[in-house]
Amino acid sequence: MRLSSFLDMVRHISLNTLYQWCKEDSFRLIFKNAGTLLSGNMVAWILGLATFAITARILGPTQFGILVLITTYVTIVDQLLHFQSWQALIKYGAEALARKSDDDFKTIVKFCTLIDVATAILGTVVAIVAVSWVGRWLAWESETVLMAALYSFVILFNINGTPTGILRLFNRFRLFAVQNIITATIKFIGILILLFIGADMWSVLILWMATTIISQLLLLGLGWRELHKQGFEEIHKVPIRGISTQYPRIWGFVLTTNLNSSIKMTVRELDTIIVGSIAGVEGAGMFKIAKQIAAIPAMISDPLYQVIYPELSRLWARGNIKNFKKLIVRSGLVAGGGATIIWLGVILFGSFFIQLVFGAEFTAAQPVLVWYMLAMVIAIYGFPLQPAILSMGHPKATFWVHLCSAIAYFPLLFIFVKWMGLIGAGIAYVCYYLLWTCIMIGLERKFLKEKTLVTLEGSI
């Protein structure tokens, strides 16, 4: 899409236009479900930010930075090895449900569950084994290495990819909001208790570990409860031996979506480790605060991403290309517009907010926050692109886009942080999402054009 065409489109979006969009069933359903998730995410984010701020005040910049690096390390290992089984469940499960084939659906559920269990065990082992090497690279003390090894056990309980897919497939998005609020509340109450009794680093780490495990187990229970409510029993008895024959592309889909998510997650998390290795643990702490506040716009796009993917998959499967394209453009513009307003507020009041919530010693996070949030705004305008291309059946294309963008990002990150300090991390992130968005727009237009040509040829 040309810039002039985009600007012309934005100019003609009036309140009446938005009202007309919201009258359409698919658009209304998307934002209804996203609104449910957003309400839960908003409450959870406020509680999470308060927990984050109290933690920073309890530990101080140095120990807070150490905690950030420990949790970031474990998250990286977890996400690198944890397959995004929910995406396969939505794609192949939706097709099975459309065929009214209960046995096929249960086969997909069992397959995805086994993947979750295997990757959780593997991730835990890798995290514990690799922590000594990472500790030497980051010059961690032996106690910090021990803390990271203990925290690695949270990976063992991350078997919720399948429950996540189940809840999304059956439009039970309200349960995600419930889960987020419950776990955020427990964590907030826990950190308040630690604040009053006087806590050390170990106490805070154990609290974060316990609440993470509770969150994962709660989601697991909600997902399987919903599966039974839908009438799918005795999943364990369904054979999966011939699944590769029945679904020849399923392993390719699972592996590719995992690589996609791994690269995207690496960009989001590994940068904290890199910043910490260059700017020290305090720099990592400042950067994490900027990322935590910059998650405000992501609260708009993340719920939308979760609900738009199943809807786009359904529209594409039905051949409803017109509504498919409209949903992509409209959801991106609405979400991006909201994110832009938030970004402008951060420019004006970000420094005051950081000082009020975290304390004066953390105000150095403001400059990088402005740039990092700008990158998030760009990402949110383009958030429908990845689920759209996945719905079209081109997961490998999104993988290569993420890979190329990441290859460009990390050298820029290293150079910019060395050259400009902490603010360079935010500028590098803007470059990453500009590149990613431009390539994804080009691919989306290419695949839509190919689909249109095939449809025209079939009608002749």
For residues 191-207, b (16+ Cβ closer than 10 Å) or e, as one string? beebeeeebebebbbbb
Instruction: Collapse the DSSP code of 358 into the 3-class scheme (helix H, G, I; strand E, B; otherwise coil) and give the result.
Output: coil
Higher confidence at residue 159 or residue 260?
Answer: 159
pLDDT digits (tens, 9 = 90+) for 217-237: 999 999 989 888 888 877 777
Cα–Cα distance between 383 and 440 in angstroms, integer? Answer: 10
User: pLDDT at position 391, please?
Assistant: 84
Of the pLDDT bands very low, low, confident and very high (cuts 50, 70, 90), residue 1 is: very low
Q: Is the pLDDT confidence value at 10 over 80?
A: no
pLDDT exceeds 90 at position 393 = no
Q: How confident is the model at residue 24 (pLDDT cuts 50, 70, 90)?
A: low
DSSP3 helix / strand / coil % (the chain, rounded to 5)? 90, 0, 10
The model's confidence at residue 25, banded by pLDDT at 50, 70 and 90, is low
Q: What is the pLDDT of residue 381?
A: 92
> Where do the domains of the chain lie?
3-459
When pLDDT is averaged across residues 446-452 and rounded to a whole number, the result is 80
Concatenate the DSSP letters of all residues of 140-186 into one string.
--HHHHHHHHHHGGGGGG---HHHHHHHHHTT-HHHHHHHHHHHHHH
Mean residue pLDDT of the chain comes to 84
pLDDT of 16: 54
Tens digit of pLDDT for each residue in 135-183?
Answer: 998 889 999 999 999 999 999 999 988 998 888 888 887 888 888 889 9
What pLDDT, on a 0 to 100 scale, did the predictor assign at position 84?
A: 78
Q: What pLDDT score was predicted for residue 89?
A: 86
Predicted local confidence at residue 6, as pLDDT? 45
| Residue that wins the pLDDT comparison between 206 and 239 | 206
State the pLDDT at residue 392.
Answer: 86
pLDDT for the residue numbered 373: 94
Check pLDDT > 70 for residue 38. Answer: no
Handedness of CA 42, 48, 50, 52 (dihedral sign): negative
Q: Quickly state the pLDDT bin for 7 (edges 50, 70, 90).
A: very low
Name the band, by pLDDT with cuts 50, 70 and 90, for residue 439: very high
Model pTM score:
0.74
Predicted local distance difference test score (pLDDT) of residue 447: 86
**How many whole angstroms separate alpha carbon 303 and alpha carbon 263?**
20
Instruction: Identify whether the C-beta of residue 49 lies closer than 8 Å to the C-beta of residue 357.
Output: yes
Confidence class for position 51, pLDDT limits 50, 70, 90? very high
Return the pLDDT at 3.
Answer: 44
- CB atoms under 10 Å from CB of 304, counted, come to 25
Mean pLDDT across 312-326: 82
- For residue 35, the model assigns a pLDDT of 61
Q: Which of 2, 46, 12 is nearest to 299 (CA)?
A: 46
Q: 291 and 372 in contact (C-beta within 8 Å)? A: yes
Does 423 score more than 80 pLDDT? Answer: yes
**Closest residue by Cα to residue 371 from 291, 273, 270, 284:** 291
Q: Which residue has the higher pLDDT, 320 or 23?
A: 320
Say whether pLDDT at 260 is over 50: yes
Output the pLDDT for position 31: 58
